[in-house]
Structure 1
């Protein structure tokens, strides 16, 4: 009976796990074909695209993804479009929701590489309405759209002020990138761009 490795997530960790597993399986097949077992490698994710998440602070974020279909097809990785709703560890099964249908898949090995996202505290007034994030593609696109729409908003000190929360790699890169991006937006004066520095 064929064995199955399921990888939840198609980000960098999920992609590299799938490719490494297929590579190891192929090496084993070449070295000892008579004793090698049939092993399926399957990736479960909402989209078969790799989002270049470390660069979502940059301009043109809508282009920060690469399709994975051909890579999966070439390497023999099975792609299952959907989301894992639950994991039954005792029976080694995952419940997958895909296109409004649920299915159960068994596994021999499971790799969780689903990633993470920021959670905004619900009890901070104005936080949801006035903040943006660059932790996911859709949220980074919202920030870029907001920046491009700034010229249509009346110039005030509030409009001309940007606060970056977080002093890690992403926060520092975003803070360094924003002045140059704002200076290139048509309709924003040089004074506005300098004010945001």
Structure 2
């Protein structure tokens, strides 16, 4: 009898879990079938989106690769790839309804993996891969054109994405004014590396405004954007790039499996609470927080637990990293970072993250050789 595992989401977590199940678990669970559902036909390496908005720096092939091609080595009876999005679910009946180009399709599962991630509140910026490959690439090209034409750019939100975006822009363009707005008194939420990151950005020429919470923006008659701050100040800019605000892609799920801000509630095994045979990994769980390194550990842990369950064994707690790393690139040369509370050298941040923003790992993710 076929054991069907439906994986929702074709980004970092969904890709890794699917490959691990097919490469390792199916060697002994011969009737295993993995169905991977992704709104995007390609894996979008969104970690590099902050650099991809700069024209001529990264090619489409460096940030995007075909999922179907990467999984083509697996037999048809073991794997199915569906380009579509989850519209609804009945977790008691163990079904999910998928919207595809050819209409709706209902999938039955033995185990369900939730890896649909999160999205930015503003859907006009390419920080997340929430759309088709064609939509994302068109958004990137449009943003690149706006970046090239702008003389003044406002980056709103001084978390990691905002800091890295401001750094990338000012590193490339010394003749453009780049303003970074932080709602908090310090960038990066006052993290221990906030001062180092601010220093690196100021060296590049980024203007940082703290305690500057955005409460609204509107496009003016001449095509510029007027950004309104909480204190009443208004800033007129050629290009407004918001980076703040994350929302879970969980609308297709019942309320009983969600926690604050609609993220999915999981236990120490990354099994979804209040329902059977449902697992989650990556940003949709936001546990302890959304990050690439956390997603890697969660995906590996969920794949391992599914392997154990399918072999009649009990799951084990998912082990995250024993340390808490936080690395923030500031342009293509330097950065700021820490491991736990200990700061690391700028050059180390560049070598570990800033040099490629992980794009060198894209081929290994797609074909499964990284796992």
TM-score using structure 2 length: 0.40
In 1: Cα distance, 2:105 partner to 2:126 partner: 33
CA RMSD of aligned residues (A): 2.3
In 2: Cα distance, 1:44 partner to 1:26 partner: 19
Cα offset, 1:99, TM superposition = 1.3
Question: Which of 31, 45, 50 in structure 2 is aligned with 1:52?
Answer: 45
Which residue in 1 is equivalent to 2:5? 5
User: Structure 1, residues 78-130: CA drift from partner, whole Å, max 9, x if none?
Assistant: 1011111111101100111111411111001111111211114xxxxxxx9xx
In 2: Cα distance, 1:118 partner to 1:140 partner: 15
Which residue in 2 is equivalent to 1:169? 160
Which residue in 2 is equivalent to 1:69? 68
Cα offset, 1:163, TM superposition = 2.4
Gapped regions of structure 2 (runs ≥ 5): 130-135, 179-204, 206-371
Cα offset, 1:132, TM superposition = 4.3
Which residue in 1 is equivalent to 2:121? 119
Which residue in 1 is equivalent to 2:83? 81
Contact 2:6–2:35 (8 Å) recurs in 1: yes
In 1: Cα distance, 2:96 partner to 2:59 partner: 31
Contact 1:72–1:78 (8 Å) recurs in 2: no
Which residue in 1 is equivalent to 2:147? 147
Shift in CA distance, 101/62, structure 1 to aligned 2, threshold 3 Å: farther
In 2: Cα distance, 1:78 partner to 1:5 partner: 11
Cα offset, 1:148, TM superposition = 2.2
User: Structure 1, residues 124-151: CA drift from partner, whole Å, max 9, x if none?
Assistant: xxxx9xx84533435444322211233x
Cα offset, 1:37, TM superposition = 5.0
Cα offset, 1:25, TM superposition = 1.9
User: Structure 1, residues 49-75: CA drift from partner, whole Å, max 9, x if none?
Assistant: 100010001135661211121221113
Cα offset, 1:5, TM superposition = 0.4
Which residue in 2 is equivalent to 1:102? 104
Question: Structure 2 matches for 1:132-143, cutoff 5 A?
Answer: 132=125, 134-136=127-129, 137=136, 139-143=139-143
In 2: Cα distance, 1:45 partner to 1:62 partner: 22
Contact 2:38–2:82 (8 Å) recurs in 1: yes
In 1: Cα distance, 2:87 partner to 2:161 partner: 30
Q: Which has the larger radius of gyration?
A: 1
Contact 1:134–1:140 (8 Å) recurs in 2: no
TM-score using structure 1 length: 0.72
Gapped regions of structure 1 (runs ≥ 5): 30-35, 121-127, 151-159, 184-191
Return the structure number with greater helix share. Answer: 1
Question: Which of 95, 98, 112 in structure 2 is aligned with 1:93?
Answer: 95
Shift in CA distance, 141/114, structure 1 to aligned 2, threshold 3 Å: farther
In 1: Cα distance, 2:173 partner to 2:117 partner: 30
In 2: Cα distance, 1:132 partner to 1:16 partner: 26
Contact 1:57–1:140 (8 Å) recurs in 2: no
Return the structure number with greater strand share. Answer: 2
